[in-house]
Amino acid sequence: MANIHPLATVSPNAKLGENVEVGPYAFIDDNVVIGDNCKIHPHATIYPYVTMGSGCQVFPGAVVGAVPQDLKFEGEVTYVEIGDNVTIRECATINRGTKASGKGVTKVGSNTLIMSYVHIAHDCRVGNHCILVSYVGIAGETEVDDWAIIGGSTVVHQFSHIGTHAMVGGGTAVNKDIPPYAICGRTPICFAGVNLVGLRRRGFESDTIRTIKDIYDTIYYQGYNVSDACSKVEAGFPQSVERDTILEFIRNSKRGIVRAGDSSTRGSIE
């Protein structure tokens, strides 16, 4: 049974799981589903067509499920889907999807941390185990793969793609795709090496990290264009999950990947 503060406003058409706690002045609208063991803090707002998994927290001032800030939106029914164990900190905003995108849903995966004042726009997909640091803004239809970290005050152009285990330095303007396992930053944004610290923390073997580094040396620093570099990597490195993840990401990139940094930037962004 949910524990709803008498000063909270909860629609009778909302479905709340077991042990859900709703603080004073929180607002939960129609057509909202909240899983077990969630905590909706005081003054949090959850608009219609939001589904939230178990073990989530929504902090004061956060707004989940507001209509998209997109002139193509025509009032259609669209959705926000939140996974399990997601933390949405103060004043973060997550907008619903749009029909025009062909998706109609904004998704945030499980075990992800959305820090204060983050904005996730319409039809974005944020994966599992991601961290979006305070004041990050990701524009419509951005994709953020599992385990990615986006540093504070970073802004991400619409339709961008940030790869798995990538890290983007704080205060960056992202206008190209960020490849998997990479660390990128600076102004203008550039590739600065492999996310060594993050990969080690997540249990990647030293040989695997070395292979990823050698692959990116081939792509960025041996003078090939991107297409030829991918062919060289495919021919020159044995098949592995990491190799194939990198090649698939680059070959499917719509915006193109970030450029190489000069030698002074390699490995310098933490």
Active site residue 122: yes
- Which H helix or E strand runs over 40? strand 39-40
The one catalytic residue among 65, 109, 140, 151: 140
The one catalytic residue among 84, 123, 145, 177: 123
The one catalytic residue among 122, 129, 161, 165: 122
Q: Which residues pair with 79 in a beta bridge?
A: 105
Query: What residue has token string 């993840």?
Result: 245
Determine the Cα–Cα distance for residues 161 and 249; give it in Å rounded to an integer. 9
**Strand bridging mode 190-194 / 143-144:** unpaired
Contact by Cβ (8 Å): 261, 190? yes
Active site residue 140: yes
Active site residue 171: no
State the alpha helices, DSSP H only, in 67-119: none
Angle made by CA atoms 269, 250, 254, in degrees to the nearest 5 = 105
User: Is the link from the previous residue into 42 a cis peptide, with omega within 30 of 0?
Assistant: no
Determine the Cα–Cα distance for residues 214 and 220; give it in Å rounded to an integer. 10
Query: Distance between alpha carbon 128 and the CA centroid of its chain, in Å?
Result: 8
Q: Which residues form the catalytic set?
A: 122-123, 140
